[in-house]
Amino acid sequence: MTFGQFLLVAVLALPALGAVAVAATPGDRAGRLVGTVAAALTLLATLPLVGGAYGWFAYGPRPPAVRPWHQVDLPWVPGLDLRFHLGVDGISWPLVVLTGLLTLLCCAYTLWRVPEGGGSGRALVALLLVVEVGILGTFLALDLVLFFLFFEVVLLPMYAIIAGWGGDDRRRAARKFALYTLFGSVLLLVGVYLVVAAAGTADLVTLTGGAGLPRGTQLAAFTLLALAFAVKSPLWPLHSWLPDAHTQAPTVGSVILAGVLLKMGTYGLIRVAVGVAPEGARWAAPVLGVLAVAAILVGGLVCLAQDELKRLIAYSSVGHMGFVLLGVATLTATGLQAALIGNIAHGVITGLLFFLAGAIKDRTHTGALAELSGLRETAPRLAGLLGFAAIASLGLPGLAGFWGEAFAVVAAVRRGGGLWTTLAVLAALGGALAAAYLLRLLRRVTHGRPSPAVRPLAPGLAGAELTAWVPLVLLAVAVGLAPTLVLSYAAGPVDALLGVVSK
Amino acid sequence: MTGLLAVALPGVPLLVGLVGLLLPPSPRGAATGEDPARRAAIALGVAGAAVALLAAVALLVRVGHPVEGSTTWIDFGGLTVTLGYRLDGVAVLVATAVAAVALAVQVYSIGYLKRGPHDDVDVDHRYPPYAAQISLFTAAMLTVVVSGDLILLLVGWEVMGICSYLLIAHDRRLPEAPAAAMKAFLVTRVGDVGFLLGIALLGVGAGSFRIADVLAHHYSTGTLTAACLLLLAGAAGKSAQFPLHTWLPDAMAGPTPISALIHAATMVAAGVYAVARLFPLFERAPVALAVLGVMAAVTLLLGAFAATAQDDIKRVLAWSTVSQIGYLTGALAVGAPTAALFHLLTHAAFKALLFLAAGVVIHAVGTTLMSRMGGLRAAMPVTFWCTVIGLGALAGLPPLSGFWSKDGVLAAAEAAALDDAGPAPQWVGWLVWLAGLLGVAVTAWYATRLLLRTFFGAPRDPLAQPHDPPGLMRWPVLLLAVPAALLGLAAFWGPFTARIFAPASEAELTGFGNSLVHTGGAVLLPLVLLLAGAGVAGAGWRRDPAADPARFLGPLRPVFARAFRLDDVQHALVVRPTTALARAVRTGDERGVDGLVEGSGRAAVGLGGGLAALHRAAVPRAVAGVLAGALLIGLAVALIGVTS
């Protein structure tokens, strides 16, 4: 077993063992501490995964299209030809690190503050670690059935987090989240078995590029898989679980949900749906593009008329993920790279926005925009950070959000033709809408005279809050100034994937 | 060394700005100025601007012909984005102007954002973020100026927009400031939609976003025209051209030094500068230039007429900016980017001077309304003479700077009109020329009115005790008066003309020759119009020194005062439909899309409830049901048995 293989297993084993250890630790605070340490170790284990035996230079003109840096390939259920196949490459690694980082920040935040009115903080940390196992497994799996299993692992602990520590209407929101995404999972299951039955293998490395599947199968498989991932991403009009879930989830739940859980959808779309059924992807690309742009515009317009803080940020996610999906839909190298960096940027920025929205709601006990005003008078630092996050979210060039959105538009322009040019224009207009609703948010919340809810706020921030937020602020700036941080390893895998897709 | 200076030019203010943002924003004692954070912010801000100015001057000495340097920033699937600079004579001249105005503003702000005689006791100016945002703003503008890549230019372009948003909203005592800031950013952002698409078209066509590659690439006419028109949308937003000019007058809600920085010397110049930078492309797209010419003529006159009826001294200057930028874009439209850049430089000097001088007046009187000023000449002689120089340059009075540069613009337009010397159709030349000439008379009229209403006659506010400003505010004004008066004479100085003509050297653009100075009979016409405009205003004032000469506008006065009600048009055509659409979409999304989801859930529960109710039956009916079922199954078995 090489060091890389050891790390791959460790990345999944550490949070899993951590969750068990948290549950076994007596004492609430000690348990939370153990969980935070486990999350920190997991993040440390994800970092050295980069590069390795198959560097990006190994991508030649010759298939296979997926050549992981490290992989573990063990027989699992020999009778069904199922394998425990994990691997990491330039497409998945940034997401793996982001997952590790956000989980660590959420655990550290929970160390300081447990949401009121819910269960014990220890249980929350344990559930966060289980969610992390599922998300990391989804990003690492190179076997379709294994992918599906990890995809499903996430569902129930997330349900428990929303239902256990959420807001007033948490049970309904959690139920809606679970049922809606379960509906997507059913489609995924059918799609997976369609592919596995037709191809006779579940190995993603073999499957990528179509594996000789007939056209009809590919169209059906892509439709099923894309619908399943569209629910998770979410793609308009399959998004309506998201605002409820976000509004009711506790702060850390919202952060994980927006930060990395949605990325399972877009990652699955790139790796599984496009990879396994490239002909289906080419066939459905215009529809996907139109829906993505509809998501951008609808998300933006709803935000413009929204009057609840967390709901607004949730709907802004619909718009931002629309840009990511538009990038994927173009099926160009530019678009896919834009989608990858857009994924990371959205995770960082929206994670930060949800942290800040949670902090504001915790302090003022309201999320209604009408009751929030003048934050910069009483809590200038919080207002400054909210301003930064909003500005980053509107895609200001020089910050992380810019690259994904601008280059999704560029990719659509590059694709050319009437349809894609129109989509590019509409998506760019969506960028202006994003500025409109985020500045409206800032004007309502930070400017003006302090409202009664805001007046008693203390100007300071807790150390734990700064610890959780500063890494995200720095990342938003760093990725904005040096996008190669995310994309330097992605060029090879993306080209290889497109090599088989456009064949 | 040149590369290092080119990086330091935006890099140092950027670094200083980022550090400044980390200072405590609103500490105790900020109001009195006895506070270490404020002192640190002042030191950082002034040092950043000073280093930038030094770097710019050093580059001015070193750079004659174009130099470039770049490294790959990121490669998006075959589209290369580079991180690089592209310096030529024009870039370093504009960079010097930007850095000089930024330094003046940083120094001036120390005195301006202090508790004045008219302020409340507990006023708190939050100086550290203010100074840091000015530094960031300077860095962003300098990035636009030196950038050798369209994406990097876009970075500076938008960062400048967000800094202007933050700075306009700075004054917490003004209830209208947040709305004005939002309007400024959103209107320019709408233009930037076009800018981004234009850049995307150019970059996709050339396979690179490097300006040198883009300029060297041969586009089809259709692509080029589309790209240029899209770029113009962005330039119109930033440079406050009709119909995206509406944000600029409202932006006067920002502190006066910010008005000088953003809305006179730098940000509004960015659009013109970007077009001039890419002028070889525009030259090949006469349709785009014709559109630009119409925009310029409309803006020029719109701004000039709107300036005639304002009572707020800052709004007069704001509208005069709109009008003057119209001259710049007009010069571009008739194919004379050099004339545009020359006027850009002189305008930067005299408009910054005018705003800072107006700030002195506002600081001393405690109001921005001219109807409450008057008779300040005796009490504020320094400010008075500086304002005279600034207004003289604005109106184009020889030998002040504005005379030479405006004359250059009018001469180019005249040549385009009479000799068809420009790349755009001849009628564009006529349009720009006539609008420019009419604009000269109107400009002279409102400049004279401003001077008379503010400094002459009897004081209208007996409570005010005006005085010339303290040194920190006086020196920037005095030093800016020097270029405002003399910069025009640089047209006779070889090194200056060599630099401003540098980018045009490879293919001399049009038939206007290689000189910035245009003498001859044509100079007389604007001079006559200038004297006529000033004379009419003076005569009107002489009849009743206490009354506003704007009363002679009659029924047009309210129309001009509200700038032809274009704000209302914008509100009716864009803002209200968008918000209505947003509300409708929200309702549709919640009732329609989500309603379907919730409805299917309710339907499933209802169906289950119905079936459950059916199963809750009394014994006789249940027995009958079981028997009926058994009978049906038996029948089915029998039938299947028979058929098979």
Helix (H, G, I), strand (E, B) or coil at B210: strand
Distance from CA of A48 to the nearest CA of B (A): 23
Q: In this complex, do B159 and A406 lie within 8 Å of one another by their Cβ atoms?
A: no
Q: Tell me the C-alpha to C-alpha distance, in Å, between residue A26 and each of A33, A112, B547.
A: 11, 18, 85
Q: In this complex, do B585 and A298 lie within 8 Å of one another by their Cβ atoms?
A: yes
Helix (H, G, I), strand (E, B) or coil at A451: coil
Who among B77, B193, B593 is closest to A429 (CB)? B193
User: Which residues 6+ apart lie within 8 Å of B332 measured at CB?
Assistant: B272, B275, B276, B279, B282, B289, B292, B296, B340
Does the pLDDT at position B165 exceed 60?
yes
Helix (H, G, I), strand (E, B) or coil at B117: coil
Q: In this complex, do A432 and B189 lie within 8 Å of one another by their Cβ atoms?
A: yes
Residue B71 confidence (pLDDT): 87
Residue A373 confidence (pLDDT): 87
Q: Between B120 and B197, name the one with better pLDDT.
A: B197
Distance from C-alpha of A151 to C-alpha of B590, rounded to nearest angstrom:
28
Q: Tell me the C-alpha to C-alpha distance, in Å, between residue B341 and each of A392, B88, B338.
A: 33, 13, 5
Q: In this complex, do B578 and A304 lie within 8 Å of one another by their Cβ atoms?
A: yes
Residue B462 confidence (pLDDT): 72
Does the pLDDT at position A346 exceed 90?
yes
First CA to last CA distance, chain A:
36
Q: In this complex, do A414 and B185 lie within 8 Å of one another by their Cβ atoms?
A: no
List, in sequence order, every residue forming a beta bridge with A82; answer none if it has no partner: A77
Distance from CA of B39 to the nearest CA of A (A): 19
CB-neighbour burial class of residue A80 (10 A; exposed 0-12, middle 13-18, buried 19+): exposed
- % chain B with pLDDT above 70: 93
Residue of chain A nearest B205, judged by CA positions? A414
Peptide bond connecting A278 to the previous residue in cis, omega within 30 degrees of 0: no
Residue of B15, B22, B74, B574 to mutate, interface with A, max A Cβ within 10 Å: B74
Q: In this complex, do B154 and A409 lie within 8 Å of one another by their Cβ atoms?
A: no
Who among A432, A447, A448 is closest to B190 (CB)? A432
The mean-pLDDT minimum among A8-22, A91-105, B68-82, B135-149 falls in B68-82
> Strands B79-87 and B67-76, how do they pair?
antiparallel
Distance from CA of B559 to the nearest CA of A (A): 29
- % chain B with pLDDT above 90: 40
The stretches of A154-214 forming alpha helices (DSSP H) are 155-165, 170-199, 204-207
Does the pLDDT at position B505 exceed 50?
no
Residue B521 confidence (pLDDT): 67
Residue A2 confidence (pLDDT): 83
Does the pLDDT at position B644 exceed 80?
no
Q: How is residue B428 written in tokens?
A: 């564009």
B457: left (phi over 0), alpha (psi -120 to 50) or beta: left
Does the pLDDT at position B185 exceed 60?
yes
Q: Where residue A54 falls among pLDDT bands split at 50, 70, 90? A: very low
pTM, to two decimals = 0.91
Does the pLDDT at position A415 exceed 60?
yes
A203-251 pLDDT per residue, tens: 888 888 766 788 888 899 999 999 999 998 888 888 888 888 888 889 8
Residue B76 confidence (pLDDT): 85
Residue of chain A nearest B151, judged by CA positions? A397
Q: In this complex, do A337 and B190 lie within 8 Å of one another by their Cβ atoms?
A: no
Distance from C-alpha of B534 to C-alpha of B444, rounded to nearest angstrom:
5
B587-634 pLDDT per residue, tens: 988 888 888 888 888 898 899 999 888 878 788 888 888 899 999 999
Enumerate the residues of chain B whose CB falls inside 8 A of the CB of residue A470: none
B469-484 pLDDT per residue, tens: 888 888 999 999 999 8
Q: In this complex, do B186 and A436 lie within 8 Å of one another by their Cβ atoms?
A: yes
Q: Between B175 and B92, name the one with better pLDDT.
A: B92
Peptide bond connecting B178 to the previous residue in cis, omega within 30 degrees of 0: no
Please answer whether residues A204 and A147 qualify as being in contact, where contact means their C-beta atoms are separated by less than 8 angstroms.
yes
Residue of A175, A181, A182, A240 to mutate, interface with B, max B Cβ within 10 Å: A240
Residue A41 confidence (pLDDT): 92
Does the pLDDT at position B510 exceed 70?
no
Residue A390 confidence (pLDDT): 94
Helix (H, G, I), strand (E, B) or coil at A100: helix
Q: In this complex, do B200 and A494 lie within 8 Å of one another by their Cβ atoms?
A: no
Q: Tell me the C-alpha to C-alpha distance, in Å, between residue B296 and each of A137, B434, B497.
A: 60, 12, 25
Mean pLDDT of chain A: 88
Residue pointed to by tokens 């959000």? A401
Q: In this complex, do B200 and A180 lie within 8 Å of one another by their Cβ atoms?
A: no
Please answer whether residues A52 and A70 qualify as being in contact, where contact means their C-beta atoms are separated by less than 8 angstroms.
yes
Who among A332, A428, A495 is closest to B193 (CB)? A428
Q: In this complex, do A483 and B74 lie within 8 Å of one another by their Cβ atoms?
A: yes
Enumerate the residues of chain A whose CB falls inside 8 A of the CB of residue B196: 406, 409, 428, 431
Distance from C-alpha of B32 to C-alpha of B113, rounded to nearest angstrom:
11
Residue of B223, B589, B598 to mutate, interface with A, max A Cβ within 10 Å: B589
B261-306 pLDDT per residue, tens: 887 768 888 999 999 999 989 988 999 999 999 999 999 999 999 9
Q: In this complex, do A305 and B583 lie within 8 Å of one another by their Cβ atoms?
A: yes
Residue A58 confidence (pLDDT): 47
- Stretch 159-188 of chain B: residues touching chain A, C-beta under 8 Å: 159, 162, 165-166, 169, 172, 175, 177-179, 182, 185-186
The stretches of B75-174 forming alpha helices (DSSP H) are 89-112, 127-146, 150-168
Enumerate the residues of chain B whose CB falls inside 8 A of the CB of residue A447: 169, 177-178
Q: How is residue B529 written in tokens?
A: 């119009």
A271-294 pLDDT per residue, tens: 888 888 888 888 999 999 999 999
Across the range B529-539, mean pLDDT stands at 89
Distance from CA of B247 to the nearest CA of A (A): 14
B101-112 pLDDT per residue, tens: 999 999 998 888
Does the pLDDT at position B29 exceed 50?
no
Neighbours of A221 (CB within 10 A): 26
Distance from C-alpha of A382 to C-alpha of A369, rounded to nearest angstrom:
16
Residue B503 confidence (pLDDT): 57
Distance from C-alpha of A263 to C-alpha of A351, rounded to nearest angstrom:
12
Instruction: Say if B593 is an interface residue toward chain A (CB within 8 Å).
Output: yes
Across the range B539-565, mean pLDDT stands at 84
Number of helical (H) and strand (E) elements in chain B, helices listed first: 26, 2
Count Cβ neighbours within 10 Å for each residue of B503-513 and write b for 16 or more, e otherwise.
Answer: bbeeeebbebe
Element (H, E) at A329: helix A309-330
Element (H, E) at A89: none
- Stretch 333-352 of chain B: residues touching chain A, C-beta under 8 Å: none
Q: In this complex, do B151 and A334 lie within 8 Å of one another by their Cβ atoms?
A: no
Count Cβ neighbours within 10 Å for each residue of B621-643 and write b for 16 or more, e otherwise.
Answer: eeeeeeeeeeeeeeeeeeeeeee
Residue A356 confidence (pLDDT): 93
List, in sequence order, every residue forming a beta bridge with B69; answer none if it has no partner: B85
Instruction: Say if B298 is an interface residue toward chain A (CB within 8 Å).
Output: no
Residue A393 confidence (pLDDT): 93
Q: In this complex, do A301 and B582 lie within 8 Å of one another by their Cβ atoms?
A: yes
Mean pLDDT of chain B: 86
Residue B506 confidence (pLDDT): 41
Distance from C-alpha of B363 to C-alpha of B360, rounded to nearest angstrom:
5
Does the pLDDT at position B30 exceed 60?
no
Across the range A74-86, mean pLDDT stands at 83
Distance between alpha carbon A166 and the CA centroid of its chain, in Å? Answer: 20
Does the pLDDT at position B149 exceed 50?
yes
Q: How is residue B644 written in tokens?
A: 């098979």
Q: In this complex, do A443 and B182 lie within 8 Å of one another by their Cβ atoms?
A: yes
Distance from C-alpha of A434 to C-alpha of A353, rounded to nearest angstrom:
14
Distance from C-alpha of B307 to C-alpha of B325, rounded to nearest angstrom:
14
Q: In this complex, do B162 and A391 lie within 8 Å of one another by their Cβ atoms?
A: yes
Neighbours of B99 (CB within 10 A): 27
Enumerate the residues of chain B whose CB falls inside 8 A of the CB of residue A176: 597, 601
Distance from CA of B531 to the nearest CA of A (A): 45
Instruction: Say if B632 is an interface residue toward chain A (CB within 8 Å).
Output: no
Distance from C-alpha of A326 to C-alpha of A410, rounded to nearest angstrom:
11
Distance from C-alpha of B207 to C-alpha of B79, rounded to nearest angstrom:
5
Q: Between B25 and B109, name the one with better pLDDT.
A: B109
